[in-house]
Structure 1
Amino acid sequence: MLSQSFESFAENLQLDNKEDMDTKFKSITKRLNKKYYESSSETDHAEMVGSIGRQTAIKTVSDLDMLFVLPQSVFDRFNSYESNGQSALLQEVKEEIKKRYPKTIVRGDGQVVVVTFTNFEIEICPAFLNSDDGSYTYPDSNQGGSWKRTDPLVEIGESKYMISETDSHFKYVCQMIRAWKNNIGFKMGGLLIDSLVHKFFQKNTKYFSATFDDYLNLFIDLFGYLKDLNEDQTYWRALGSRQPVYNKDKRFIKKAKTAYNKLKDFTSECEDLYDVLKELFGRSFPVPETIQKAEDVRYAMSYSPTEQFIEDLFPVDIRYSLKIDSEVSQDGFRTMLLRTLIRDKKPLMINKSLHFFIKKNEVEEKELDYKVYWKVKNRGEEAKKKGQLRGEIVKGGNKKIEHSRYKGEHYVECYIIHNGVCVARDHIKVPISTAPVYA
């Protein structure tokens, strides 16, 4: 029964917009071939790289990474610039793509040209083949400009090898880690995910022959591996290429520890296991009908017919960091932050003003267009009796004011929407300890 749920989950995660991406990819390739090679080819000199190239992307993926190989003469031309020829190269590629998509947003972003379509973006990296080792040189316009090296085809080759050697289970596990990341809401790049899952398989070779029957133990071991990684480590080595892969905030290590502690004592016979798997991987994790009925009874006290879920409103592909907090205040009392109260295990009482605010928004830092949505979810007997379970997702700004009124384990979530996709999210508990407590 559990193995069937994991198998169905894997099937449900597969890409569903690849055809549209293929069409746009070919169109951009044709345009750049016309400019740099006087050719009308839709395939020459271009490669799909990133998670789509490695075959580990999931259906909510909002970006396609594309490598376009330019002639050596183009490198010589821009390398001769006195300063930041890299920026000039990206600008030239950008302007050429604008000829094909004049009404589409096309922008430079440090190392790539980004073309924004509905619900996904294509990031084009202009590159030059290094004849000595088959790697590529690409432009980095940051900090005055420099040339960097990348080797994505080796990463793709290693990923495809692992997929073949594990009867596709390497791919499924990488995809499920993406689903976990999107559901919990933290930034973790696809190359880092694939590289760490690759390291896990190499250290635990018994899972090369895994089946869906082994997935509970596999994920307990995988989360155990991730939680024990060194938080002081600045980068990890990519599968295949061994290039450094950075992750600055390291939140995934703490999140893996939480996931491990939730899963470690379960066996496949425990009905409550499905509650935890849905909590980790999202509401779409398949639950057998008999167990779903029991869950419906358990959650009757928190059910609200007006509750909404972000994955029903927008595709979710967490690519940026978001952090929210709340100032807790009351006349005559010192203002404190909600996360500090929770950390210090102090009670959140009634009659408090809660001023939720965005503490960090990486989407704003990158100067991208975005919209903010909030969700307030109440739980418990008092909120239910008053018809105040709430749970609607509403558009808002960078701040939101609430008040503590109903006793219960409530929570607030914030979502950042860019180009029709939820690209950042954060969650904060609002545990109100004395009656009545929170609206």
Structure 2
Amino acid sequence: MALKEDFETFCSNIQLDNRSDMEKSAGEIAKKLNKHYYGLAEDTSSHLYIVGSVGRQTAIKDSSDLDIIFDLPTSVYNRFNAYEKNGQSSLLQEVKQVMKERYSRTEVSGDGQVVVIEFTKYTVELVPGFKQSDNRFKYPDTHDGGKWKYTDPLSEQDECANCNDKSNGIYYDFCHIMRSWKNTIGFEFGGLLIDTLVYNHFEERDNYANCGYVDYLTILQKLFDYLKGKNKDQSYWYAVGSNQQISNSGSGAFVTKAKKAASKIADAISNKEDMNSVLREVLGTEFPAVAKAVAKLYETSSLCFHNTEQFIEKMLPVDIRYSLQLECRVTQDGWRDFFLREFVRDGGILRRNKSLDFFINNTNCPEPYSIYWKVRNVGRVAEEKDLIRGQIRCTNSTHQKEHTDFQGGHYVECYLVKNGVCVAKDRIDVPIGTV
């Protein structure tokens, strides 16, 4: 199958697949709030706006959050604005109680600016707002004694749709592709920032108006080149459509990751490698493999080993929303301890008989969460020993202890799981030499 058709299949594979379920939940929320605040019975659509990535149509399969704004009556604003102290918090608590009447068996909480409703497969973040004459929304912020803020999601949706129209659908595809890349590699990269940077790049390139699937690899290269040229220390960007500030919440991790992705693709082209394998490594296993190449591998291999490797995306929804950093302390009797990342960065190769203590060095993921580990042995020796491992285990331990036993380019991955969704992941390579 040509790469053109593979990109088309990939873009279809990662489409948001539970929008109808999300819309049903949003309708039930609207129904309850319309009845409580407007006296409207059985109204499942008035005053409710689906926003965020789902509203901008840039969310993908396994998205774990649904952002909605409910437009409350002006009289409600007047009532809470008259409070002497933090009427914003009181408003949030009132809306939370209304939601708890509807979802008595579901976790409902108030969190700064939103009411959070924890469904099984995704989380709803409900913003009680007040629509203004310019289509912006005034909404409560309970921090620092309480204040009112403004947000403009409808203009963001309109400008994203406009860019998609001008690019004949390519813009949405690449917003989806960037999310799949982020989830595959495992780093924090906010949805609105993704959509904004893809939009800015498309604007510079006349929206790729005369392109199609046959050009997607070239577009992907140019987009990675664009991202790797950004300043990772930049404090904020201006959002598509609204021009509101988007903070650099991921510390510019996308810049370094884009450099690596661009290099992998360029090397694959120069060395005439199997591009599908490289794109699966960069963009995820939803990108098609080359069936003939896989068949040839098994035909020519004289080894017989059990393929025990598991993949987190086949076990759980993956929607990376937080950062996670692993480290590994390397010890051996008679030798000074050292940390693996710096050692590998300097070109070091581990030898046998060393003890490895992998641990979570840093994460901004709020507890509680479950901790999963994967240890994968790679190379001919692992196959000869029938010991490639690769199973994913929930240990809920912040540490995973191993030893250097035999040669190969091994690796360890860790995953943080909240409400059944993998929301953070990281990988650390473990190169082991022959002596």
Write the distance in 2 (CA, Å) between the matches of 1:111 and 1:34: 22
Does residue 1:218 correspond to 2:219, yes or no? yes
Aligned to 1:22: 23
Aligned to 1:426: 426
Write the distance in 1 (CA, Å) between the matches of 2:340 and 2:169: 44
Write the distance in 1 (CA, Å) between the matches of 2:287 and 2:273: 14
Q: Is the 8 A contact 2:268 2:278 kept in 1?
A: no
Write the distance in 2 (CA, Å) between the matches of 1:233 and 1:72: 38
Please report how far the alpha carbon of residue 433 of structure 1 lies from its aligned counterpart in structure 2 after TM superposition: 2.1
Write the distance in 2 (CA, Å) between the matches of 1:206 and 1:44: 34
Task: Report SS of the residue matched to 1:350.
Answer: coil
Write the distance in 1 (CA, Å) between the matches of 2:297 and 2:178: 24
Q: Is the 8 A contact 2:130 2:138 kept in 1?
A: yes
Aligned to 1:181: 182
Q: Which amino acid aligns with 1:68?
A: F
Write the distance in 2 (CA, Å) between the matches of 1:357 and 1:403: 14
Among 308, 313, 319, the alignment partner of 1:306 is 308
Among 333, 337, 340, the alignment partner of 1:338 is 340
Write the distance in 1 (CA, Å) between the matches of 2:272 and 2:315: 32
Please report how far the alpha carbon of residue 162 of structure 1 lies from its aligned counterpart in structure 2 after TM superposition: 1.6
Q: Is the 8 A contact 2:371 2:394 kept in 1?
A: yes
Write the distance in 2 (CA, Å) between the matches of 1:421 and 1:135: 32
Q: Deviations over 1:183-239 (max 9, x none)?
A: 000111111111100000001116122200001110110000000001121111111
Aligned to 1:375: 374
Please report how far the alpha carbon of residue 323 of structure 1 lies from its aligned counterpart in structure 2 after TM superposition: 1.1
Aligned to 2:118: 116
Task: Report SS of the residue matched to 1:66.
Answer: strand
Aligned to 1:407: 407
Aligned to 1:207: 208
Aligned to 1:72: 74
Q: Which amino acid aligns with 2:407?
A: K
Aligned to 1:247: 248
Task: Describe how 1:26-425 pairs up with structure 2 within 5 A.
Answer: 26-40=27-41, 41-131=43-133, 133-205=134-206, 207-248=208-249, 249-264=251-266, 266-267=268-269, 270=272, 272-294=274-296, 304-363=306-365, 366-367=366-367, 369-396=368-395, 397-425=397-425
Q: Tell me, which stretches of 5 or more residues in structure 2 are unaligned?
A: none
Write the distance in 1 (CA, Å) between the matches of 2:304 and 2:374: 15
Write the distance in 2 (CA, Å) between the matches of 1:115 and 1:373: 25
Moved over 3 A (4+): 265-271, 294-304
Q: Is the 8 A contact 2:305 2:386 kept in 1?
A: no
Aligned residues: 431
Write the distance in 2 (CA, Å) between the matches of 1:28 and 1:373: 34
TM-score (norm 2): 0.94
Q: Is the 8 A contact 1:181 1:187 kept in 2?
A: yes
Write the distance in 2 (CA, Å) between the matches of 1:380 and 1:109: 48
Distance 1:388 1:269, change over 3 A: closer
Q: Is the 8 A contact 1:2 1:268 kept in 2?
A: no
Q: Is the 8 A contact 2:305 2:384 kept in 1?
A: no
- The CA RMSD measured in Å over matched residues stands at 2.0
Write the distance in 2 (CA, Å) between the matches of 1:79 and 1:379: 62
Task: Report SS of the residue matched to 1:103.
Answer: coil
Q: What is the identity percentage for the equivalent residue pairs of Structure 1 and Structure 2?
A: 47
Write the distance in 2 (CA, Å) between the matches of 1:267 and 1:38: 63
Q: Is the 8 A contact 1:183 1:282 kept in 2?
A: yes
Q: Deviations over 1:305-338 (max 9, x none)?
A: 2111101100111111111111111223222111
Write the distance in 2 (CA, Å) between the matches of 1:299 and 1:30: 61
Q: Is the 8 A contact 1:271 1:291 kept in 2?
A: no
Distance 1:185 1:290, change over 3 A: same
